Every structure is written in structure tokens, then in C-alpha cells.
Chain A
């Protein structure tokens, strides 16, 4: 059996499968799709002006990275990096709390997470992440790696890097969707680590 014959067999094996969903149903389903996904509250939109000011300050940092805001005891290593767009707070137990208010400065967020020991890929381009290969993990493990909680009006993503299996990282992205309420949508997924994806 040559490749052409085999290809034809594979194609023909599913050739009679047809989609039966009306396009109107697809369009209206978009709202349900969005609702299923995690949201960053619309209150963030009100922070845009103040956020610009905060960013202007942070960009004075010599490294070009956001200036970290120290948290915890004086003299301890900075545990919090805060921009107007997002905050990353490393907890004493190793957990990383991420609060996203605006989809801005993905490279800095990615660098901050990686510096905290998390293999991460961050993309706020609005397009699907294509440089990473999704890595399926068990539901229990996924819940151990990351979870959301309501933190003072904003969803906070808590990540425990210590339970990430070897060779697994996280992808954080948006998909160019805004809910009618003005809220944002953020997508979290487990991915294989690679130079291209998680650095």
C-alpha cells in the first residue's frame, strides 16, 4: 500500500462526517464560550490612566525590567513585582500569585515568572499560542499546579511550581476577546517546556 492509497483511506474513513450545527448557533455560542473562561474583572479598565503613570516609573529601572516593589520584611529579597498591568507575588511557601489587570507587557511578565522558577510562556497578542505544545495533565494535577481565587475584586491566579512535572510549563494568554461587561479573558494551559516556548 503506497502513501497515496493510505492517505485516501484515512480521508475516506471520515469523509461522510459532516457538521450539523447552524451558523447562528455558533455565533450565539460565543457568549457561552467566553463565560466558561476565566475573567479579569472590568474594574481594571479604570486603572488605565493610573497604570500608565506607574509604568512610566517602573521603566526607569536600569535593567529595563519592571522595578520590583519589595514586600515582606525589610532586607528580604523582593517578593513582589508590580506593574499597572499585573502583579506577581512570590509567597513564602513558594506559590506564585499572579493578578492580571491589563494584557500588557507580556515579555516582562514572562521574565518575572521565569525568574521565580516557573517555566512560562506569556502571550497577549490575541492569537492562539502556536509556539507551545499543549501537555495534558490529570485534573488533580492541574488543580495542584494552578487555581484561581477571588482576591479583592480581581481573580488571582495561584501557581505552585513545585508540583509541575519535569518538562512541563504554563502558558498564559488572552484571545482578543472582551466580554460585553468589559472584562478580559485569560487562558491558562499546561505545555511542554522548550526553548521556543518557555525559554
Chain B
């Protein structure tokens, strides 16, 4: 006989999911947004929404991707509301600022973060889902609503741009 899950069981399921997925989701959103405080707020908000819709989200084939997608969508309206745009040129400074919670933000490599922020938003999303969340191409395509081939193209371009940015000395050697 099947039994419906009670609220307590749902809460335990969600808590387990949260503990297992929160760090990864935060890193993925950070890679997309470039700002720790913003990423933390967005991820917290996305998890809150996940809890509110847990019956649906728990059946999602990739609930972590649901959270990240929701966080990024929420980010659009949040930035719109707060007029909080982070100029790419300021990112190095931003990543070194202490967070609102008082934690040091120096944990992020500023050079790599700045290189990520120079990527177009869609490429950053692909990097976040493919590399940080470790989703496969098909799932990434599904989450972003684009073709698998487009995911591969975005990832290829992103990797090329990152390689170029993070290995300037190598390129200089090749040119000389």
C-alpha cells in the first residue's frame, strides 16, 4: 500500500537535498554572476522556492539544475529592481571585498573569476552547468532550452576564451 509522504518526511528529503546540493549550486551561480553576496542571496532564494514547490522539484530529473536556473532567473529581476550591475572591469575588486556576512571573499581566484566574467552570459551559464554542476550536454541543453550542439559550441568558445585569458604568456610565446 502506498503512503503519501507527510510534511515532516518532505522536509527531511528537502533538508538532505539542500545539504548535498547547496555548495555546488552556489558555486555554479557564482560562476554566472561573479559576486558572492549576490550568488548567496540568489541561491538561498532559489532553494526557498524549491522548498515551496518541493513536490514538483523533487521529481525533477535534475533538481540542482532547477535551483541554478531559478537562481539565475531570479537574478534578472533582482538586478532590475536594485539596479545592481557589476562592471566587468570592477570584478577583481568585487571578488576581494568582504561579504556581507563578514566572511572573506578572497576564496575565489580573482584572475579566473575576471576571465569568466568576460564571457557572454550564456557561455557562463554553460560553464556553470557543464563544469560546476557536471551536467551532461543533453541535460544542459534541456535546462537552458537550447540545442545540444549549441551547448557544445558555447562551451568550446568559452574554453577557448578562458584558455586565451589565463595563458597570456603562452600566446606571447607562440607569437614570437
Contacts from A to B (Cβ < 8 Å): 1, 3, 6-7, 9-21, 23, 25-27, 29-30, 32-34, 126-139, 142, 175-177, 189-190, 196-197
Contacts and interface: CB of A to CB of B under 8 A. Distances in A.
B113 interface: yes
Given A13-B113, A14-B31, A128-B70, A196 B145 contact: yes
A14 B124 CA distance: 14
A142 B80 contact: yes
A182 to B, nearest CB: 15
Interface string B89-110: 0000000000001010001110
Contacts of A131: 145
A102 B26 CA distance: 34
Contacts of B19: 23
Contact of B40 (A9, A21, A33, A127): A21
B10 to A, nearest CB: 10
By Cβ-Cβ distance, the 9 closest A-B pairs, closest first, are A19-B22, A13-B109, A13-B112, A30-B48, A29-B48, A14-B27, A131-B145, A16-B107, A30-B52
A20 B112 contact: no
A135 B120 CA distance: 12
25 contacts: A6-B159, A6-B163, A10-B162, A13-B108, A14-B27, A14-B30, A14-B109, A15-B27, A16-B107, A17-B26, A17-B107, A18-B22, A18-B26, A19-B25, A21-B40, A25-B44, A27-B48, A126-B53, A127-B56, A132-B145, A134-B72, A134-B73, A139-B83, A176-B52, A189-B77
A42 B50 CA distance: 23
A27 B167 CA distance: 43
B22 to A, nearest CB: 4
A145 B83 CA distance: 16
A176 B53 contact: yes
Interface of B: 11, 14-15, 18-19, 22-23, 25-27, 30-31, 36, 40, 43-45, 47-49, 51-53, 56, 60, 66, 69-70, 72-73, 76-77, 79-81, 83, 101, 103, 107-109, 112-113, 116, 121-122, 127, 131-132, 142-146, 159, 162-163, 166-167, 170
Contacts of B70: 128
B14 A27 contact: yes
Given A30-B51, A176-B53, A20 B109 contact: no
B14 A17 contact: no
Contacts of B73: 128-129, 134, 189
Contacts of B142: 130
Contact of B116 (A10, A12, A18): A10
Given A19-B26, A23-B18, 8 more contacts: A12-B109, A18-B23, A19-B44, A26-B44, A130-B142, A131-B145, A136-B76, A175-B49
Contacts of A1: 163, 166-167, 170
Contacts of A189: 73, 76-77
Given A16-B107, A23-B18, A175 B48 contact: no
Given A130-B69, A131-B145, A33 B31 contact: no
B139 to A, nearest CB: 11
Given A19-B40, A130-B142, A130-B145, A175 B162 contact: no
Given A17-B30, A20-B101, A139 B159 contact: no
Given A7-B131, A15-B27, A128-B73, A133 B53 contact: no
B47 A26 contact: yes
